């Protein structure tokens, strides 16, 4: 056991200072363990599949850009993975440069394309004449300010970037949307589903059986008729041809909640392919309210009633 614990490690899109790194900071059980910085979602999940890492932290949705396609597609295609936790990180950006640089000296800005897009408004106003050099990550953008080939005069990066780097903040909070937040999930190998906490989320990916009118509707009815709310639904192309989709869906509730289990049974019978990604505590810890009709008690009482019927003990209370 202690050997295993000693080996516990966590993969994340590095280097330290990225938003993913900030998300992993929130995971209590990851503290003091080994963290593996990787270059993309594929590497992170590969670490989990091969056992190099206990779990991987990956971005799954952004309040501005929507679902992270690479993550959704990886979760749809790599078997035996499970989401075990959810974490929110506010998206804040700063413009950094080498000490001594003034804003009016900035002509070329290094930025990851997503970060660049999210600061577009500020850049238009403050640096209307700038050129953009794309970077592979927010931290790599800062690295473009130093090293052998200096590519840019300034970089867009997360606030933590100044730690351990010789850069200064030229402008703070330059993101266009002050409420922007990124949702991360911690992914491990499939294991027994954890107990419900009363504030859980369940993630699945499902395909439609046909593309007839109403087939999506019929799939969604599996949730609606059991009072199960969807907090997310995203379509993703299956990839073989235009017009064929799978759906990435987040449900309020836990697979051990009767209504969620019943909805998944209905979904499984309907869809040619359902992938269960996990039931896990919500990042916001907000309890799910369920009307009496969809409570565990209602499900249990209905089952007891049905059993009494079939055995002929009773008909109606």
Least distance between its own copies and beta carbon 262 (Å): 8
> Phi and psi at residue 295, in whole multiples of 5°?
-75, 160
Report the residue number, 36 or 132, with the smaller CB distance to its own copies: 132
Smaller CB separation from its own copies, 37 or 235: 235
Distance (Å, whole) CA 245 – CA 208: 7
How many angstroms separate the CA atoms of 41 and 93, rounded? 22
Minimum Å distance from CB 84 to its own copies? 11
Q: Is 88 or 199 the residue whose CB approaches its own copies more closely?
A: 88
Looking at the Cβ atoms of 163 and 289, the one nearer to its own copies is: 289
Of the pair 154, 283, the CB lying nearest its own copies is at 283
Q: In whole angstroms, how close is the CB of 230 to its own copies at the nearest point? A: 7
Q: Please identify which residue in the block is written with the tokens 């592979």.
A: 136
Q: Is 296 left (phi over 0), alpha (psi -120 to 50) or beta?
A: alpha
Q: What Cα–Cα distance (Å) separates residue 157 from each residue in 57, 103, 107, 216, 273? A: 19, 15, 17, 40, 40
Could you say which DSSP state residue 163 is in?
T
- Beta-strand ranges (E) seen in 18-93 are 34-38, 55-62, 66-67, 81-90
Structure-token pair, residue 248: 């990435």
The residue (of 134 and 198) whose beta carbon lies closer to its own copies is 134
For residue 230, the cross-strand partners are 251
The nearest distance, CB 32 to its own copies, in angstroms, is: 26
Helix and strand element counts for the chain (H, E)? 10, 15
Q: Which residues are CB-contacts of 215 (< 8 A; sequence separation ≥ 6)?
A: 208, 209
Give me the least distance between CB of 234 and its own copies, in Å please.
5
If the CB atoms of residues 166 and 311 are measured against its own copies, the closer one turns out to be 311
Tell me the closest approach of the beta carbon of residue 50 to its own copies, in angstroms: 15
Q: Which residues contact 135 (CB under 8 A, 6 or more apart)?
A: 110, 111, 112, 141, 143, 144, 155
Would you tell me how many other CB atoms lie within 10 Å of the CB of residue 12? 30
Q: How far is the CB of 302 from its own copies (least distance, A)?
A: 4
């Amino acid at each position: 056991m202690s050997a295993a614990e000693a080996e516990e490690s966590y993969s994340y899109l590095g280097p330290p200072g990225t938003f993913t790194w900030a998300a992993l900071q929130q995971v209590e059980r990851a503290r003091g363990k080994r963290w593996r910085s990787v270059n993309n979602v594929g590497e992170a999940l590969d670490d989990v599949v091969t056992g190099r890492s206990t779990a991987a932290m990956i971005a799954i949705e952004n309040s501005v850009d929507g679902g992270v396609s690479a993550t959704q597609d990886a979760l749809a295609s790599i078997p035996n993975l499970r989401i075990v936790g959810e974490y929110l990180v506010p998206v804040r950006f700063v413009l950094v440069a080498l000490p001594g640089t003034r804003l009016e000296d900035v002509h070329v800005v290094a930025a990851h394309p997503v970060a660049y897009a999210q600061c577009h408004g500020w850049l238009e106003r403050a640096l209307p004449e700038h050129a953009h050099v794309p970077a592979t990550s927010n931290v790599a953008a800062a690295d473009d300010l130093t090293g052998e080939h200096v590519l840019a005069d300034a970089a867009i990066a997360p606030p933590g970037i100044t730690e351990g780097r010789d850069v200064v903040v030229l402008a703070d909070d330059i993101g266009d949307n002050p409420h922007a937040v990124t949702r991360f999930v911690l992914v491990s190998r499939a294991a027994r589903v954890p107990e419900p906490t009363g504030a859980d989320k369940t993630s699945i990916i499902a395909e439609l059986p046909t593309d007839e009118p109403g087939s999506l509707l019929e799939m969604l009815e599996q949730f609606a008729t059991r009072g199960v709310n969807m907090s997310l639904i995203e379509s993703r192309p299956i990839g073989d041809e235009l017009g064929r989709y799978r759906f990435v869906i987040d449900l309020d509730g836990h697979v051990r909640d009767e209504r969620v289990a019943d909805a998944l049974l209905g979904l499984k019978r309907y869809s040619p392919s359902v992938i269960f990604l996990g039931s896990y505590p919500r990042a916001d810890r907000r309890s799910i309210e369920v009307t009496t009709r969809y409570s565990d008690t209602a499900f249990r009482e209905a089952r007891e009633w049905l059993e009494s019927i079939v055995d002929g003990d009773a008909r109606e209370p």
